């Protein structure tokens, strides 16, 4: 497992201009690093703006990752056009959203509807759960559903 701090967020340096929106390249570089370290299966998971970024990255990384999980993804976040990128996803995909998080549930369903090339795309939505990583709290339905999805990817 590798936790990535996307540029300009968390402890990473702030950047401006076009470099500020190179999240898909950062994610692709992280996937390349994992593969060089011997990872044979790679699933990319992101929350909030990171969820939009993993959808965009998952659509272009070659060789493809095994799956993409987007938690509370905005349709578009600062040029990360998850809605457009979802049409190019060709990997297993889960989009997750909560009804108490604005349009997150609707967006999750819309992303899955766009992911027509994905061999296994589904949304996981709940009425309440908040935004981002809070949806994956231990013991929640969402956490169990995501664990089952990841177990199925690992077994395939």
pLDDT at 9 over 70: no
Please give the pLDDT value at position 145: 97
Taking the C-alpha atoms of residue 96 and residue 105, their distance in angstroms, rounded to an integer, is 7
- pLDDT tens readout for residues 12-66: 666 666 554 578 888 999 999 999 999 999 999 999 989 999 999 999 999 999 9
pLDDT > 70 in the chain, percent: 90
For the whole model, what pTM was predicted?
0.92
What DSSP assignment string belongs to 38-94? T-S--EEEEETHHHHHHHHHHTT-SSPPSEEEEES--SEETTEEHHHHGGG--SEEE
């Amino acid at each position: 497992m590798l936790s990535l701090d996307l540029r300009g967020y968390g402890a990473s340096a702030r950047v401006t201009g076009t470099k500020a929106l190179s999240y898909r390249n950062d994610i692709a570089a992280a996937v390349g690093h994992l593969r060089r370290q011997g990872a044979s299966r790679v699933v990319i998971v992101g929350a909030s703006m990171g969820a939009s970024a993993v959808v965009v990255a998952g659509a272009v990384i070659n060789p493809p990752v095994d799956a993409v999980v987007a938690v509370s993804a905005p349709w578009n976040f600062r040029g990360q056009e998850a809605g457009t990128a979802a049409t190019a996803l060709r990997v297993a995909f889960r989009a997750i959203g909560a009804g108490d998080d604005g349009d997150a549930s609707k967006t999750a369903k819309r992303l899955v509807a766009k992911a027509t090339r994905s061999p296994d795309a589904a949304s996981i939505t709940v009425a309440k759960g908040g935004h981002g990583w809070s949806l994956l709290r231990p013991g929640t339905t969402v956490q169990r559903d995501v664990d089952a999805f990841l177990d199925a990817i690992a077994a395939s």
